[in-house]
Structure 1
Amino acid sequence: MVADKVAVTSKKAGTKNTFVWESDGQNGFDISESEQLEDIGTSIKLFLRKDAKDYLDSFKIKSLVKKYSDHITVPINVKDNDNEAEQANSAQALWTRSSSSIKNEEYSEFYKSNFGAFDDPYLHIHNKTEGAIDFTNLLFIPKTAPFDLYEPERKTRLSLYINRVFISKDIDGLIPTWLRFVQGILDTTSLDLNVSRELVQNSPVLKKIAKSITKRVLSELKKKLKKDEIEYDAFWSQFGKVIKEGLYEDYENRDKIIEIIRVFSNKENKLITMQDYLDNMSEGQDAIYYLTADTLKQAQSSPHLEGFKSKEVDVLLMTDPIDAFWMSQMAQFNEKKFVSISRDKYDLSEVGPKETQKNKKSKAAKGTIELIKSHLEEMVADVVESSSLVDSPVRLVAGDGGLDFNLERILKAQNPDYEGTKKVLSRVLFEQARILDGEMPSDAQKFSEDLITVSLSD
């Protein structure tokens, strides 16, 4: 509070009496008659505290008006020391206009002037929702990633307005953190101006609005993908890693998110969609095969791919660190299960072109396997013959129930206390299994903390 007392003097049209409402913010308020106003209208006076005299500065006042009331449709004038009045707000809100009346150039200019951008946005989303909850959103998706996109705080970038009055640009829950690159404005008449920040963040109204906005963004991105894959791939190169965070932590929207992701096809040697992979599966194939690695070059030279190449079976090459996490959580896509070719057991005998000759185990091979096993018994769980190798003599796979190799490597690199992280991950896997089975997490708060620990530990 900057004032010791506030006095509101008001005279209603068609009346002779003037009333004054006064309060010090501590002991209620008083209402009395006054003759201070001869004309109709309202006067608000703040009696500033001694340590708040900087609020008498006209520049300070103008900056506050610009920040919080720039889009109020009534002009707000501020008088300087010479009693000269200057309008401090623009007195217009672009988002209140019909989208059909706004040119793309106007959207771009608004985006640049309000969000510090130098280029046009990749996409703008402007719509008004009316019903039980009324709100308007004007959202912008940039072409290039901001410098702080991967900050640990993962702050979102939407500004909340209530009746065109700015409330905050740091409201948790207004949009998921995996959409933190989305910039823009949400203006609603379904929230009260005089409620606390905490009540706003926990409001059921805000949660419903957030769900609606998330669905809208996913829908518009899907349209952009279908319209122009080349342009979408440029967008994906900037924000794909962030969007894939949603596959790991946003169970409710996971099925929609996976429809808009791009994955690298080893067979096609380019980015494709998950649906593209399903549409081009080999004869007899009943699973989506994938391989995680640090780099695309490393993945393409992996001996794990040899059997798939010889059978002309496609494998998705996943090289972002987040891939190892979400792929371990996704059970299937469109009823086709995900299979890690470096961990899970699989049988390619009935997939793709049929082999003319079937390799037979020889006594020599069996003896060699037993010999290797005896030398490595303290280093590996087992040594077995593989039918998926073509040129390489050997490949290393995770044991039954073991973590994907790349996931385990990432966990070790991120956290010296790897065993502790392993326990956390075990709890996350258990709770994910409960969710997939239609149950709620046994401890929602702990589950949330564990998710943050696993995804953000460094």
Structure 2
Amino acid sequence: SQSDMNQPVGTCVKLFLKKDAKEYCEGSRIRNLVKKYSDHIQIPIKISEKEGEVEQVNSAQALWTQSPTKISKEEYKEFYNSSFGAFDDPFITIHNKSEGTVEFTNLLFVPTNAPFDLHEPERKSKINLYINRVFITNDLQEIVPSWLRFLKGILDTSSLDLNVSREMVQSSPILKKISKSLTKRVLSELKKKQKKDPDAYDAFWSQFGKVIKEGLYEDFENRDKIAEIIRVYSNKDEKLISLQDYIDNFADGQNQIFYFTGDTLAQAKSSPHLEGFKAKGIDVLLMVDPIDAFWISQMNIFQEKSFVSISRDKYDIDTVGTSKTKRKKSKPKNSDVCIALIKDCLEDKVENAIASTTLIDSPVRLVAGEGGLDFNLERILKAQNPEFETSKKVLEVNVGHDLIQKLPELSLDLQKALCRVLFEQARIQDGEMPSSTQQFSQDIIQLGLEL
């Protein structure tokens, strides 16, 4: 009929609100809800508060649905800043559309600056999940792994149903597939950036490196790929390098990755553990973040090259590198006597005392005993649990050192005092406190007065 033809096309939905829901009649409340949940749907949403006045309250467009070739760098930045309250520029923008059994579009941003709460356990990534442009949640833990919690962005998919609960979405196998895909894309883009602009990547690494290295410990599936993008400090080059850079610059005869963990870079660089390696031109990676002691205990190999701790593992560098220091091939005099004296003086303070093959300038160093843990890992575990018992160490002795050669000439009291000081000195150089500060002070004074 003619009257039916004059009716507007569509569906009229009337909502009847309870008395305690009057706030939903307020224009500002409606605008905020539309902006949050339906700002990007294609259909315009309009509100009329006064007779004859109609206002569209949603943008009715979604940047991520456009082709990346048609979006400028400035438009990406504006969207990043406005959508996520960010004040920096995106370090990397990742905009892709995937089609197939699982369809989704992602617009992800890797920030330039780290948020203040990056290292808080409850920190989550700020990735907004949309289903067909309708906002669902920004509180899903499974979109990306926790070591990528600095990511911000949009995930829009048509492969999930709108009418399912958030709990069902979180446990969805579809979301798990999407998560794997996103993680691989981020790793790929970070690897490209590392190769293309190492200086910019080093600046990024200073902000986010500690968090990314959590993935080496937690994420077994992606561990090898994560290892390709980490930066480590080269003692030889005195700068950050990649693990691949280290392997590419192996010394002659080298087939292992040598590393040393310490509390600080300054402490690690001055460690006696490095002396033999410096003398032969062999690079050692210095690792001073607490997470390093954990991930490297889980990841024993990279590119078929094993990691070797120079303070814990057994190794032989006689045939590696080129010696820059002439070492005496003959056995120093009184070597066996000196070792025996040190064992007797230190008694049960050490597991054993042996002659060193790597020390050049320092008289002694401590290395892990049989089955011992990494020194830094022991300190961290001890700090977390005061009842944790650290293992006894082996004292390596530079038997050709002048102090060691003096031992047999001293009185028994001075022998004991010198051995205790040498032992405590080795502890201090490894970042430990003396076993007994009082005894250490007394021994220093006694040696100063009588030697």
TM surpasses 0.5: yes
Q: Is the 8 A contact 1:344 1:400 kept in 2?
A: no
Deviations 1:122-148 (A, max 9, x none): 110101000111000001111110111
1:239 is aligned, of 208, 212, 217, to 208
SS of alignment partner, residue 365 of structure 2: coil
- Which position in structure 2 is the counterpart of 1:408? 378
- 1:76 to 1:264, Cα distance in 2 relative to 1, 3 A: same
- 1:385 to 1:75, Cα distance in 2 relative to 1, 3 A: same
- Superposed displacement of residue 363, structure 1: 6.1
The 5 Å alignment of 1:193-212 reads: 193-212=162-181
Please identify, of 273-282 and 371-380, the stretch whose mean Cα deviation from structure 2 is larger: 371-380
CA distance in 1, matches of 2:342, 2:168: 65
- Which position in structure 2 is the counterpart of 1:130? 99
- Which position in structure 2 is the counterpart of 1:146? 115
The 5 Å alignment of 1:38-437 reads: 38-80=7-49, 84-353=53-322, 359-362=329-332, 364-416=334-386, 418=388
SS of alignment partner, residue 45 of structure 1: coil
CA distance in 2, matches of 1:39, 1:279: 72
Percent of pairs with identical residues: 65
- Superposed displacement of residue 172, structure 1: 1.3
CA distance in 1, matches of 2:205, 2:238: 17
Q: How many residues align?
A: 390
CA distance in 2, matches of 1:365, 1:385: 8
CA distance in 1, matches of 2:275, 2:332: 22
- 1:299 to 1:357, Cα distance in 2 relative to 1, 3 A: closer
Please identify, of 351-360 and 70-79, the stretch whose mean Cα deviation from structure 2 is larger: 351-360
SS of alignment partner, residue 355 of structure 2: coil
- 1:82 to 1:294, Cα distance in 2 relative to 1, 3 A: farther
Q: Is the 8 A contact 2:88 2:113 kept in 1?
A: no
SS of alignment partner, residue 395 of structure 1: strand
CA distance in 2, matches of 1:85, 1:245: 52
CA distance in 2, matches of 1:397, 1:70: 62
SS of alignment partner, residue 60 of structure 1: helix
Deviations 1:387-406 (A, max 9, x none): 11000000111112111001
- Superposed displacement of residue 415, structure 1: 3.8
CA distance in 1, matches of 2:267, 2:329: 28
- 1:193 to 1:392, Cα distance in 2 relative to 1, 3 A: same
Deviations 1:326-350 (A, max 9, x none): 1111111111100011111111111
- 1:15 to 1:103, Cα distance in 2 relative to 1, 3 A: farther
Name stretches of at least 5 consecutive residues in structure 1 with no aligned partner.
1-12, 18-36, 423-458
CA distance in 1, matches of 2:2, 2:41: 27
CA distance in 1, matches of 2:2, 2:102: 36
- Superposed displacement of residue 39, structure 1: 3.3
* Root mean square deviation, CA, Å: 2.2
Q: Is the 8 A contact 1:218 1:257 kept in 2?
A: yes
SS of alignment partner, residue 15 of structure 2: strand
Name stretches of at least 5 consecutive residues in structure 2 with no aligned partner.
392-451
- Which position in structure 2 is the counterpart of 1:10? none
- Superposed displacement of residue 115, structure 1: 1.1
Deviations 1:371-400 (A, max 9, x none): 211232322211111111000000111112
| TM-score, normalised with respect to structure 1 | 0.81
